[in-house]
Amino acid sequence: MKIGKVLLLGRPNVGKSTFLNNLIGQKVAITSPKPQTTRFPIKALYEESRGRVIFVDTPGIFGKAEDELSKKINEKTLSILNEEVDLVMYFVDHTRRRDFEESRVLGLVRQIKKPKILVINKVDLQEKSFLPQYKFLEDEFPYVFEISALNKTHFRPLVDKIFELLPTGTDKKKAGGEEIPEGLVYPLLNVDSRIFLAELIREKIFLMMGEEIPYRTTVIVDEVTERENGVTYIKARILTTEDRYKKMLIGAGGHKIKEIGSYARKEISLAINKKVFLDLTVETDPHWQETYY
């Protein structure tokens, strides 16, 4: 039986979280076309007949982290690099040019002395490709896979290789020096359900609001209660730094907050397989970054 811990690294937006969600077949990490969607490393368990794998999905900004939140996200990501891992998957997106940030990620990948797989993602997109800029990596990485994380293309040979490279475990409860809890109901190892619910709501804000607002916003889940009628009652607050953002999040006649709430409620309901009542409000809190991160 193979047991191990696999670290996913790559610039924001290369498709790490999409890969993980589609491999596990269930949403474990939120995704959006905007960078910095994921704010902290997420550990998820993938289990099948060949063994158990803990995947660690990193947020990682790696580029210039100027604001406090970015700095904190980077710190959390870098601390993950010090953990024991058995394998590194380095994701690149051939539809985007190599840049300074890519060089930084590669620099980090090079420091980790473990087996490595290069994953060239988004092969479903062919119109605009910078693939020649990534070709030199093929000399450095013994294993190269071209995949589409979105369409699950070439997942099978990639997963075969992951299992091949992982150590054979004797202790079923440990991977990469980490305890695997028994009796998992959800394949998430380090995120409690309130944070997960907050993440699902935050994802909707990323998808439905303009460029700036998601970065000025966070979500806090205050209450999750099972009601007698079988409905799960969830009380959550969207916190944003300024009144003008609050106005935009609420929208004319409250239509925006209703829309965000409605999408989030449907998805949460699907994820936990229960009826959900979502009580969602917006507040201005200029200091949420200091309080919650």
Question: Which of 4, 12, 41, 261 lies at the binding interface for ligand GDP (CB under 6 A)?
Answer: 12
User: 135: Cβ–Cβ under 8 A, 6 or more apart, which residues?
Assistant: none
Residue 217 within binding range of ligand GDP, rule CB under 6 A? no
Contact of residue 256 among Mg ion, ligand GDP, none (CB under 5-8 Å per partner type)? none
Question: Which of 2, 14, 17, 119 lies at the binding interface for Mg ion (CB under 5 A)?
Answer: 17
# of chain residues touching Mg ion (CB under 5 A) = 2
Whether the Cβ atoms of residue 256 and residue 248 lie closer than 8 Å to each other: yes
Least distance from Mg ion to the Cβ atom of residue 57, Å: 6
Contact of residue 240 among Mg ion, ligand GDP, none (CB under 5-8 Å per partner type)? none
Least distance from Mg ion to the Cβ atom of residue 35, Å: 9
Least distance from ligand GDP to the Cβ atom of residue 16, Å: 4
* 3-19 core/surface letters (b: 16 or more CB in 10 A; e: else): bbbbbbbbbbbbbbbbb
Residue 125 within binding range of ligand GDP, rule CB under 6 A? yes
Residue 18 within binding range of Mg ion, rule CB under 5 A? no
Taking CA atoms, 162 is separated from 8, 52, 89, 156, 289, in Å, by 12, 11, 9, 10, 37
Print the binding letters for residues 38-77 with ligand GDP: x by CB under 6 A, - otherwise: x---------------------------------------
How many angstroms separate the most distant Cα atoms in the chain?
61
Other C-beta atoms closer than 10 Å to the C-beta of 151 total 12
Instruction: Name the pairing type of β-strands 42-48 and 51-57.
Output: antiparallel
Least distance from ligand GDP to the Cβ atom of residue 78, Å: 17
Q: Which tokens go with 256? A: 């925006």
Q: Which stretch binds ligand GDP (CB under 6 A): 119-127, 159-167, 244-252, 257-265?
A: 119-127
Q: Which tokens go with 37? A: 């969607």
Among 247, 193, 242, which residue's Cα sits nearest to residue 221? 193
Residue 15 within binding range of ligand GDP, rule CB under 6 A? yes
Residue nearest to Mg ion (CB): 17
Rounded Cα gap, residues 156 and 160, in angstroms: 6
| Positions 89 through 118 that interact with ligand GDP (CB under 6 A) | none
Residue 131 within binding range of ligand GDP, rule CB under 6 A? no
Least distance from Mg ion to the Cβ atom of residue 258, Å: 27
Question: Which of 21, 22, 38, 240 lies at the binding interface for Mg ion (CB under 5 A)?
Answer: 38
Q: Which tokens go with 222? A: 């205050």
Contact of residue 12 among Mg ion, ligand GDP, none (CB under 5-8 Å per partner type)? ligand GDP
Sheet holding 143-146, edge to edge: 42-48, 51-57, 2-10, 87-93, 116-121, 143-146
Instruction: Catalog residues that contact ligand GDP under the rule CB under 6 A.
Output: 10, 12-18, 31-33, 37-38, 121-122, 124-125, 148-150
